[in-house]
């Protein structure tokens, strides 16, 4: 391949990559009824397939605060609903879209921990080498630790939840990850960097 041809191919690839990064998704995230998720509604998150735990909830991992994000051990209707707050939304649009940065917050929680119930990227757990998801406010730069995203899977209405806040900080380089389950001492934690957990969103009071 000539140098000139190689250069123009490289430029085309670069342009394509740059364009796809800039164009933001306008595809709605759907709940288990096939309706778009709304920012002023509450949803339970649960695995799309059985034997992976029940609804998402708060986990007291170590008899101390803050509490971690995890899943109930059973399919019983327990767990806490969440509310989603997009980082950027067009005016008059209260629907949640795929691959866009958003905050996830457990609501209707009664807990003795003073921390906020917003999801936050936690530490790299030494024994598993996976990054756990904890609760609390990220006071660091742009609060990037508080922004997650809902990613599409091959199946309609089934999603993954990941962390890659490039909308909040376009010039940052993140080690992005997708969430899955991490079993520890009889509890189920939600953590990045393992096999991805397919989830569904069930509107509360359905």
In the complex, the residues that contact ligand NAG under the rule CB under 6 A are 48-49, 61-62, 124, 126, 129, 131, 154-155, 158, 175, 198
Closest CA to 32 of 196, 163, 205, 193: 205
What do you get for the CA distance between the two ends of the chain, in Å? 60
CB of 168 or CB of 191, closer to ligand NAG:
191
Minimum Å gap between C-beta 131 and ligand NAG is 6
Please tell me the distance from the alpha carbon of residue 44 to that of residue 75, in angstroms, as a whole number: 12
- In the bound complex, what is the minimum distance in angstroms from residue 154's beta carbon to ligand NAG? 5
- Closer of 103 and 130 to ligand NAG (Cβ): 130
Tokens of 93: 């649009």
C-alpha atoms less than 13 angstroms from C-alpha of 167 in its C-beta half-sphere: 20
* Shortest separation between residue 141's beta carbon and ligand NAG, angstroms: 17
Q: How far apart are the C-alpha atoms of 145 and 163, rounded to whole Å?
A: 8
CB of 195 to ligand NAG, least distance (A): 12
For Cα atoms 56, 54, 158, give the angle at the middle one, nearest 5 degrees.
75
Tell me the closest approach of the beta carbon of residue 83 to ligand NAG, in angstroms: 24
Q: What is the DSSP string of 30-55?
A: B-TTSPBPBTTS-EEEEESSTTS-SS
Among residues 96 and 134, whose Cβ is nearest to ligand NAG? 134
């Amino acid at each position: 391949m000539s140098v000139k041809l190689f250069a123009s191919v490289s430029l085309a690839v670069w342009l394509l990559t740059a364009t796809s990064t800039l164009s933001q998704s306008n595809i709605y995230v759907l709940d288990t009824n096939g309706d778009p998720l709304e920012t002023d509604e509450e949803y339970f998150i649960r695995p799309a397939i059985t034997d992976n735990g029940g609804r998402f909830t708060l986990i007291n991992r170590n008899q101390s605060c803050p509490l971690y994000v995890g899943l109930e051990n059973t399919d019983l209707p327990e767990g806490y609903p969440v509310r989603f707050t997009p980082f950027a939304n067009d005016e008059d649009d209260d629907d949640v879209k795929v691959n866009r940065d958003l905050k996830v917050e457990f609501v209707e929680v009664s807990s003795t921990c003073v921390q906020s119930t917003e999801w936050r990227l936690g530490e790299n757990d030494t024994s598993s080498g996976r990054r756990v998801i904890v609760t609390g406010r990220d006071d660091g730069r742009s609060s990037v630790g508080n922004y997650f995203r809902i990613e599409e899977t091959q199946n309609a209405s089934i999603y993954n939840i990941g962390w890659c806040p490039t909308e909040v900080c376009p010039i940052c380089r993140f080690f992005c990850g997708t969430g899955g389950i991490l079993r520890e001492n009889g509890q189920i934690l939600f953590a990045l960097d393992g096999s991805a957990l397919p989830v569904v969103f069930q509107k509360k009071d359905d």
